[in-house]
Structure 1
């Protein structure tokens, strides 16, 4: 798969590829869920790719019930935008997407957020497991550098405030990030308990809010950054730090500014690429197809600027 692939230049080829990716066993009715019991509707008056379910008699296309539904943007441009976002390690700006696809910035911005929503895990399995290690760490995104220490003591909102992000990284596995209001035991414990398998080995820095949650796992080891300790045998949080380096380079170098309202979707984008990285044997084409398989049930609409609603 490359930029000259027919699925990026022809809407019919794009539709065929999307159907093969999402419907490997035949058309799936989004209304009743019946598999391979639909008839393709042909004729001049029929829309391309239209099916009628033989069970519930409703009509549908491959985009019904997905983030692509009711979009006037050709399907080949949707697939190209998905490929560009899935293959860009540090992200790609909506301005660049707009120039590449030949659409307005407003359209490109909306497309990017829809694709980020598709990349969001809906029912994620816990990270880790028996004999597996999960690292937990926190960082601060955006705002003014002089406010970094203020935000660490007490999260503040308004101009210059940094946004707190907590990330859980499974060594040789997935990453999962959360935008939190405050970095303390009250906010972090529920996240760690619900996102990490209790049989895992937890690795953190020396922050006090990891002490009690760590007691509920197979083991918990912490390194003391304040004393200059960063690695002690298998104990370290360097994997999480590496994830943060990619995240921050993307936000600073590509997006420049990320609003608090949409930070969670940018985090989902970086989590998705990290969890489907080349180091796990996943190439750009495979990563793109995985994103296309996740587009269902996440239709995202904007009523007014900054106000999101789900259909």
Structure 2
């Protein structure tokens, strides 16, 4: 069997990561260049002249025009965190370079922080990934499938009506040779034509050719897309070329989640866990750029408090940074 060049990429080695982001000063410089690529700009008046100073070890800039003081983290996802920037960057490295998902418990052990701090850090980074994936639109040939995250609870509702299950849609874009390029994984309110029509409008370009199984709600694709229903049942349908890759991606997703987590709030947090898997899958061709890419998404995502992170669940149409 020929070597899979995507799987056997060297990626960003730990020594190379530490050489680039091993000190707090290096991390501060990386964040500053992403926030102000053309030099400091006052967030209040946009003036480009400022006096730099430190307070309790934290870098600040004071605008020479309006005297507004801006910190390096203000207005970013890292604003309310007391963790060093090098801890944030190391967490990005661990989440990005891992072939499967990394749990908050594993982050706690690697980073030497408390479990609550690791949980906040992981969910904030997953929120940045979710924001980064929101604009993605699939085109060319798109394979669709439906699935659920979670299982039944003792004493709860059985089957698809379980309150611990979250319906979601997974889609994979393939090229002319049938090779997978990008994926989208999003929760939906339910498998209804209205819900699927809204999701298709946000995720799939009108010129795309859509392939799906016989789920009635997928008929919504016929309104704006060339839609083909793949006939068959069980293994034969899963192995059909027109649905092969979406089933492979779905299988890998479930295996990755089962291997990394004993349990999590499927209904509340499914959107973020799906976004984490999709974000990493869509950047698998260039593993050396995963840390800078996630750092950029983190810098451009608004602050999220723990109360907001633990708030009511959102669907793709509501989630934003």
State whether structure 2 residue 315 is matched by structure 1 residue 299. Answer: no
CA contact (8 A) 1:7 1:79 kept: no
CA contact (8 A) 1:14 1:75 kept: yes
Cα distance in structure 2, aligned partners of 1:142 and 1:287? 28
CA contact (8 A) 1:6 1:14 kept: no
Cα distance in structure 1, aligned partners of 2:189 and 2:129? 23
Say if 1:74 and 1:6 are closer, same or farther in 2 by CA, change over 3 A: farther
Cα distance in structure 1, aligned partners of 2:181 and 2:63? 39
RMSD: 3.1
1:50-80 Cα shifts (integer Å, max 9, x gaps): 2233555422233111111131111100110
* TM-score for both structures, normalised by structure 1: 0.82
The 10-residue stretch of structure 1 (61-70 or 299-308) with the greater mean CA deviation from structure 2: 299-308
State whether structure 2 residue 167 is matched by structure 1 residue 170. Answer: no
Q: 1:65 aligns with which of 65, 75, 84?
A: 75
CA contact (8 A) 1:113 1:265 kept: yes
Task: Show structure 2 runs of 5+ residues with no match.
Answer: 1-11, 175-179, 314-319
Structure 2 equivalent of residue 191 of structure 1: 199
CA contact (8 A) 1:30 1:65 kept: no
Say if 1:305 and 1:203 are closer, same or farther in 2 by CA, change over 3 A: closer
Cα distance in structure 2, aligned partners of 1:22 and 1:10? 19
1:149-203 Cα shifts (integer Å, max 9, x gaps): x645xx331xxx4321112222243322222232222321211122211011111
Structure 1 equivalent of residue 271 of structure 2: 264
Say if 1:225 and 1:27 are closer, same or farther in 2 by CA, change over 3 A: farther
Quote the offset at 1:254 in angstroms.
0.3
Cα distance in structure 1, aligned partners of 2:133 and 2:237? 36
Task: Show structure 1 runs of 5+ residues with no match.
Answer: none
CA contact (8 A) 1:127 1:197 kept: yes
Q: 2:258 aligns with which of 238, 252, 255?
A: 252
Structure 2 equivalent of residue 11 of structure 1: 24
Structure 2 equivalent of residue 208 of structure 1: 216
1:112-136 Cα shifts (integer Å, max 9, x gaps): 001111111368445234xx11222
Cα distance in structure 1, aligned partners of 2:57 and 2:182? 40
CA contact (8 A) 1:8 1:77 kept: no
CA contact (8 A) 1:94 1:109 kept: yes
CA contact (8 A) 1:127 1:174 kept: no
Say if 1:90 and 1:82 are closer, same or farther in 2 by CA, change over 3 A: same
Count, aligned residues: 293
Q: Report 1 or 2 for greater relative contact order, CA contacts < 8 Å, sequence distance ≥ 6.
A: 2
Say if 1:188 and 1:308 are closer, same or farther in 2 by CA, change over 3 A: closer
